[in-house]
Structure 1
Amino acid sequence: MKTTYITLSLSAIFLLGLSSCKKGEAVTSKYESLQNADSAAVVVSDSVSSAATMAVKDKQFIKTAQVNMEVKDVYETTVSIEKSVQDLGGFVTHSNLQSNVVSENTYDTSNEEAMLVKKYQTENTMNVRVPTEKLGEFLTLINNKKLFLNSRTIDAEDVTAGIKYAELEGKRIKKTNENITQLKTSKDKVNMGNDNMQEENAQQLANMNVADNLKYSTIDIYIKEPKLRITEIAITNTTSIDNKYKFNFLYGAKTAFVEGSYLIQRIFVGLIVIWPILLILGVAVYFLRKRKAFKKPNQNISE
């Protein structure tokens, strides 16, 4: 009896130990799987923010992003981004590539030629939209183009409550329309129907915008080159051309002679215009001289 009791006790201890080992292996296995999942999550979070790929049950998010970075070549990066957007099923809504000139100087290299040297910096402001499920992939693609990332912002706006409220508003508008149809025809009924229809159209437009923003994420991208670029453009030496035709003596003398003859003609025409004044002055001078001549003999006689 005692031996049987000892045997049963040892069997129980053995079974408990075996069970503990199995539980330990299960816990260890579960921990390792979680650790592997965490490692995978770390890898993902290193390449793209979790906000870009976040998915929560019974939640809907409108996702947007803003990226500001420096790249080696703005034009090549722009072409690459546009191609990536197209490959992912998105589209570009705005792209403004421009070169800001910092300085511009002209250097004469010969009597006929010169060199225009420009220092400039190229930048581009883009607005693109990609399918929301491809947002993380797209951000990873453009991240590979950077030399230096100045900033990156990712927003995930929870619009679940707003969508639910829009559904309730749609039901309210429908109910209001049913109530209006039961009224007697009158001017007030027409006005109420128009107002309700206008509200329904506005609600449908809002619903379409929300649906579009849920389907496509909006990304604002600003890229620029970290250093100035220099371009050399061969042009004509305008200084030598200006000096060549700045003054011609023979032509200048001929022009001066012609202008002088025109001046004489103008003076002559001017004298003709004021001939009455000249006539009056001439008569006045004549009488003054005659009067002086008349006074002079009388003075001699008195002496």
Structure 2
Amino acid sequence: MKTTYIKLSLSALLLLGIYSCKKGEAAVSNERADYTADAATATTDSISSAATMTVKDKQFIKTADVNMEVKDVYEATVSIEKSVHDLGGFVTHSNLSSNVVSEKTYNTSGENAMLIKKFQSENTMQVRVPMEKLGELLTLINNKKLFLNSRIINAEDVTSGIKYAEMEAKRIKKTGENIDELKTNKDKVTLDNDNMAEGNLQQLANMDVSDNIKYSTVDIYIKEPKLRIAEIAVTNTSSLDNKYKFNFIYDAKNAFVEGFYLIQKIAVGLITIWPLLLILIAVFYFLRKRKLVKPESTKISEE
């Protein structure tokens, strides 16, 4: 009986140990699963955590600068512009261009040819989105990348600047009230005008700060990592040049007409210089007459 009790006790302890081990392994597995889930969440949130940061009683102007490589610049541009529109933002600048590295034409037949262009596309964009949507936009942009060259996110604390602007508005208002109490003269008009101008500038600065807080500015530069090739069907210009390079009948006819015009030009030129021709004829006649007179004089002398 005692032996049976000891065996039962040992069995119970063994089962308890196994259960404890299983429970410990399960706890470790759960901790690992929770850690993996937290890590995945952190990885996802890290894309936009800096952009979505909020601090109580603080005002921030948030901007971002993204430089990355994409598979297709045009497709990425269209997608980013659509995402910006869907998030309630707008595009302020978009300069998409293709830098042609080389181009060459290959004749494929007597009439057709193929133009081969090697090029690389890029786009420089500037967009503005509501500040609370900045993180979401950066996540959507990140999904288009092949390689991220750089990403800069700035959060400028403008809380003190806003407080100072409020104090300046009060000062300008108080100055205006003091000016109103002065007697109306030339100096009062000048002071009132200067104070109003200062107030307008302050209101403009406040509007700019308010707009920059409400809408974040994102500068985006995207390009393709390798050269792309475009095949464009064109006309074989060499064949056309050879076809119309020489036309015997037309050229002969044209040469005959040009010769006729040349004769006319020569005739007109001779008419233009008729005084010179008249002088030459007179000189020629005088010289010839002199030669005829000289032999006769020589003959008389000999006799």
Using the size of structure 2 for normalisation, the TM-score is 0.82
1:11 corresponds in structure 2 to: none
Return the alpha-carbon distance in structure 1 between the equivalents of residues 83 and 251 of structure 2: 67
Return the alpha-carbon distance in structure 1 between the equivalents of residues 84 and 262 of structure 2: 75
Return the alpha-carbon distance in structure 2 between the equivalents of residues 154 and 136 of structure 1: 10
Confirm or deny that 1:82 pairs with 2:81.
Answer: yes
Confirm or deny that 1:245 pairs with 2:244.
Answer: yes
The answer (yes or no) to whether the contact 2:48–2:139 under 8 Å persists in 1 is no
1:169 corresponds in structure 2 to: 168
Q: 1:133 to 1:257 in 2, by over 3 A?
A: same
Return the alpha-carbon distance in structure 1 between the equivalents of residues 75 and 282 of structure 2: 93
The answer (yes or no) to whether the contact 1:47–1:140 under 8 Å persists in 2 is no
1:215 corresponds in structure 2 to: 214
Deviations 1:165-186 (A, max 9, x none): 1011011011101101111111
2:14 corresponds in structure 1 to: none
What SS does structure 2 have at the residue aligned with 1:80? helix
Return the alpha-carbon distance in structure 1 between the equivalents of residues 159 and 200 of structure 2: 21
Cα deviation, residue 45, structure 1: 7.4
1:65 corresponds in structure 2 to: 64
Cα deviation, residue 42, structure 1: 7.6
Return the alpha-carbon distance in structure 2 between the equivalents of residues 41 and 164 of structure 1: 40
1:146 corresponds in structure 2 to: 145
Return the alpha-carbon distance in structure 1 between the equivalents of residues 112 and 246 of structure 2: 21
Aligned residue pairs: how many? 269
Using the size of structure 1 for normalisation, the TM-score is 0.82
Cα deviation, residue 44, structure 1: 5.0
What SS does structure 2 have at the residue aligned with 1:125? strand
Return the alpha-carbon distance in structure 1 between the equivalents of residues 203 and 290 of structure 2: 110
What SS does structure 1 have at the residue aligned with 2:51? helix
Q: Which runs of 5+ in 1 are unaligned?
A: 1-31
Name the amino acid aligned to 1:63.
K
What SS does structure 1 have at the residue aligned with 2:151? strand
Return the alpha-carbon distance in structure 2 between the equivalents of residues 190 and 44 of structure 1: 63
Return the alpha-carbon distance in structure 2 between the equivalents of residues 45 and 171 of structure 1: 45
Q: 1:184 to 1:41 in 2, by over 3 A?
A: farther
1:55 corresponds in structure 2 to: 54
1:269 corresponds in structure 2 to: 268
Deviations 1:76-127 (A, max 9, x none): 2112212222222222222222222221211111111111111111111111
What SS does structure 2 have at the residue aligned with 1:164? helix
Higher mean C-alpha deviation, range 287-296 or range 204-213: 287-296
Name the amino acid aligned to 2:110.
N
What SS does structure 1 have at the residue aligned with 2:99? strand
Cα deviation, residue 40, structure 1: 6.1
Q: Which runs of 5+ in 2 are unaligned?
A: 1-30
Equivalent residue runs for 1:189-200 within 5 Å: 189-200=188-199
Cα deviation, residue 239, structure 1: 1.2
CA-based RMSD of the aligned residues comes to: 2.2
